Homo-oligomer: A and B are copies of this chain.
Amino acid sequence: MSRSIDLAVIPGDGIGQEVVAQGLKVLNAVLPQDVKLETKEYDLGAQRWHRTGDTLPDAELEALKNHDAILLGAIGDPSVPSGVLERGLLLKLRFAFDHFINLRPSKLFPNTATPLAGRPDIDFVVVREGTEGPYTGNGGSLRTGTPAEVATEVSVNTAYGVERVVRDAFERAAARPRKKLTLVHKNNVLVYAGHLWKNTFDRIAAEYPQVSTDYLHVDAATIFFVTQPERFDVIVTDNLFGDILTDLAAAVTGGIGLAASGNINPTGAFPSMFEPVHGSAPDIAGQGKADPTATILSVALLLRHLGYDTEAARIEDAVSADLAERDGGTARTTDEIGDALAVRVAS
């Protein structure tokens, strides 16, 4: 195992700065003495775009390639037209670095506020495809702005892309105690893509007889997310369905203040990127109100990806213990939560 980590940091916009600072604080606290951590900050996001018009210049994309991993805070600001930073920066990174596994665990930690009555036992992980589907930017518009406009969005799905994410999901399911994998799609309407996903899933399932499998349409899946979330173990799904389902999953497991994610390229050909599921929340930026836990849990995913399993588990246990002791009465600042977790992981 490499005993040094060369980390690229993209704080980004809004609360991104604040939560990333806490993520780094906890990362520093959890790493053993002999692991050398180097970080390099990249100034990307809304401010940079306003200043220079750049979203992600080639030179920086090249430079980012040389790091072991990337920690990202949040991207987006209402002052920037919708889509500019999402497509020009965030999705550009996911596509350029072929992050075909968008890993999003959902766990209802003790003592957290879920909108669901009865506090079901939730502990699943969504393996969201990250490089295909309707996210490819394939589409266009004709006669834009006229009454005769036609705008299209093309969902692109390849056997290559579907197989690798489905295979990864089976591996993850096989490694978990419950060994259950659910495919979510909409193959009764999106018959071409649905056929490819379902056939690939069924074919690979034969190689994993120990994994029990299930199929749900995406609309039905949202029902089970609120009525029976305990039924899920691992879910594999396409890029757009995964986007929708993981926000819902975050909502039922205590909110997006706790939802972590990893944009992973398991081949190691490019650095993987870890980020909270939440956005830049400009309304509360700079006020010390943001919950850095999602970023800190994303750091745990980052550590596990780099082979530091013990340290990853220490962070997750610390979050669990911290949440169990949080009392609803006094809201802690971003910094205070970071401090508390840094203390816990160090001891």
Q: Which residue of B lies closest to A215 (CB)?
A: B82
Contacts of A192 in B (CB 8 A): 139-141, 151-153
Contact between chains at A226 and B247 (CB < 8 Å): no
Q: Which residue of B lies closest to A83 (CB)?
A: B191
Contact between chains at B155 and A152 (CB < 8 Å): yes
Stretch of A9-17, A47-55, A157-165, A321-329 with 4 or more beta carbons under 8 angstroms from chain B: A157-165
Mark A142-158 against chain B: 1 for CB-CB distance below 8 A, else 0. 01111111111111111
Contacts of A247 in B (CB 8 A): 219-220, 222-223
- With A115-B116, A218-B244, A222-B222 as known contacts, state yes or no: A151 contacts B193, CB within 8 Å: yes
Q: How many Å lie between the Cα of A143 and that of B82 in the bound state? A: 36
Contact between chains at B155 and A134 (CB < 8 Å): yes
- Min CB gap A263→B, angstroms: 15
Q: How many Å lie between the Cα of A157 and that of B150 in the bound state? A: 6
Contact between chains at B147 and A157 (CB < 8 Å): no
Contacts of A163 in B (CB 8 A): 147
Contact of A82 (CB < 8 Å), options: B154, B194, B240? B194
Contacts of A147 in B (CB 8 A): 159-160, 163
Contacts of A212 in B (CB 8 A): none
Stretch of A27-35, A173-181, A250-258, A337-345 with 4 or more beta carbons under 8 angstroms from chain B: A250-258
Interface residues on chain A, size class:
35 or more
- With A86-B188, A115-B227 as known contacts, state yes or no: A154 contacts B153, CB within 8 Å: yes
- With A152-B155, A153-B192 as known contacts, state yes or no: A248 contacts B220, CB within 8 Å: no
Is A123 an interface residue, CB under 8 A from the partner? Answer: no
Q: How many Å lie between the Cα of A174 and that of B187 in the bound state? A: 37
Q: How many Å lie between the Cα of A188 and that of B87 in the bound state? A: 8
Is A186 an interface residue, CB under 8 A from the partner? Answer: yes
- Min CB gap A150→B, angstroms: 5
- Min CB gap A58→B, angstroms: 22
- With A148-B159, A256-B223 as known contacts, state yes or no: A139 contacts B190, CB within 8 Å: yes
Q: A83-B191, A149-B158, A150-B156 provided; 9 other pairs, C-beta below 8 A? A: A83-B189, A115-B116, A115-B118, A144-B195, A145-B199, A148-B159, A149-B196, A153-B193, A218-B244
Q: Which 7 A-B pairs have the closest CB atoms?
A: A219-B247, A149-B159, A222-B248, A223-B251, A117-B117, A151-B196, A83-B191
22 A-B pairs within 8 Å (CB atoms) are namely A82-B198, A115-B227, A116-B116, A116-B117, A116-B226, A134-B189, A141-B195, A143-B159, A150-B157, A150-B159, A151-B195, A152-B155, A152-B156, A152-B193, A155-B155, A219-B243, A222-B222, A222-B247, A223-B247, A223-B250, A225-B248, A227-B255
A interface list, Cβ under 8 A from B: 76, 82-83, 86-87, 91, 114-118, 134-135, 137, 139-141, 143-160, 163, 186-196, 198-199, 218-220, 222-223, 225-227, 240, 243-244, 246-248, 250-252, 255-256
